[in-house]
Structure 1
Amino acid sequence: MKMYPAGQPKSTDEAPYLYEFESMGLNVPRYLQWLVKRLGEPHKDLPGPPVRFLRGYVPSLKAAAELVPGASLVINATGLGAKNLEDVRDDKMYPIRGQTVLVYAPRFRDPKVARCYSRITKEGATYVIPRALSGQVILGGTFDVRKTDTLSPSADVTDRILRNCVELAPELLPETADPNDPTAYVTLDVLRNNIGVRPAREGGVRVELDKPLHVDGHDVGVIHAYGIASYGVAAEVGALVDQWRSTHGPRAKL
């Protein structure tokens, strides 16, 4: 990772240093499709039977456990849903609304051009996140804490996101556009405006073993994993699963 001065800040709200590092980038929609397909098929290098994916409304963790007869463990990764589950009712959960813009920027199909950018000030966050090798780029964004009054994209916010992202990464523009033109951002090929609601929790993420549920005459263990999502959380959950299996047998079903 490199750190070096980023020139004179535009205001006292901005940091005078720039961090640059190399990392791996993923096309998240394609990765999730691949992951679902891989988990749903038998593989010699994956333990246990293929994963069954079920869709439906469950009012409680107990109801979720009843969907799989004989299940001995439930992992609660319901995010904001943890606030409404009948046997959880976690009032520390709260929503954070975010708006992003998906654009098509052909130059970002080149790995030498496709970089992630991020700048955070008191006015909000500006970020550029390429979807690997596709030319599609996520531009953001907003961080509206406890605001879900509207889930419709704002045209003014879209305009601000596009303008700020082009200032941060002029390579987003078509090659025919003039990066010195303050209105050049209107030439971006906008594919979609997105509104999402992120889960957040007062006091931070909850990852822990809870008291078991009693379902159909036997105990079903409960592991909570919500508040944020990350590889680190998944690794900690894996350790808790091993802990549960060590006391309840290797054939424990999730």
Structure 2
Amino acid sequence: MGAFEGGTRRLDGRTAVVTGGGTRGIGRAAAARLAAEGAHVFITGRREAELKEAAEAIGPSVTAVRGDITDPADLDRLYAAVRERGQGLDVLFANAGTASFVTLEETADEEFDRIFDVNVRGTFLTVQKALPLLNEGASVILNASTTAERGIHAFGAYAASKAAVRSFARTWANELVGRGIRVNAISPGPVDTNGIEELVGPEKSDAFKAQLGSGVAIGRMGRPEEIAGAVAFLASSDSSFMLGANLYVDGGENQI
């Protein structure tokens, strides 16, 4: 379960959903941490084999439901499984996303639509369809990014999509606070996940990781478990006075 070594289980009896929970990255680490904190966690993703592997690795407090957040029918199946459990939903980590390096000049319509369909529309649908299940006092956490505030070359569509996610957190926090639901965003800096290889290719991943780590004030990339710890904080009552916030977990990248 990563770096978490026990202690007080802050989420005993809670029900959580983590999208993109099957990949070997932030989603899986967050699902493991929430389960270790006592929650029953529903994970979803497009790849059946990865979902099954994640569920087996984390243990019996995880339920895997294959699906794509851009497909409303898949989200309906996910939330039907949550509803069947009969305890509503206490934590929603809208984590699933996608990225690519492509300049303004090179961006095709199809690539722009793909990024915004997953990161913006998919996040929108994930939260919208969860609304009937969210219990009073629930915590909704959106995965934004430090790139939303930086002008990284060839990362414009991705950065803009994450700026939209950050904006959602503010608006939805305002709209849902009357139900006692807290909405916050988390902005990870560079994190060492298998998504790096998918982004730049296996042959370039080591050099790219070194480049990313050198640009972080703390001197390295983050680990998925470190982001998961911040997710668990936002999921718990320890963050009860946080609303509409954007929690940076970036090794100082955007701070110093």
Same fold at TM > 0.5: no
TM-score w.r.t. the length of structure 1 is 0.27
TM-score w.r.t. the length of structure 2 is 0.27
Name which one, 1 or 2, has greater alpha-carbon Rg: 1
Structure whose residues are more often strand by fraction = 1
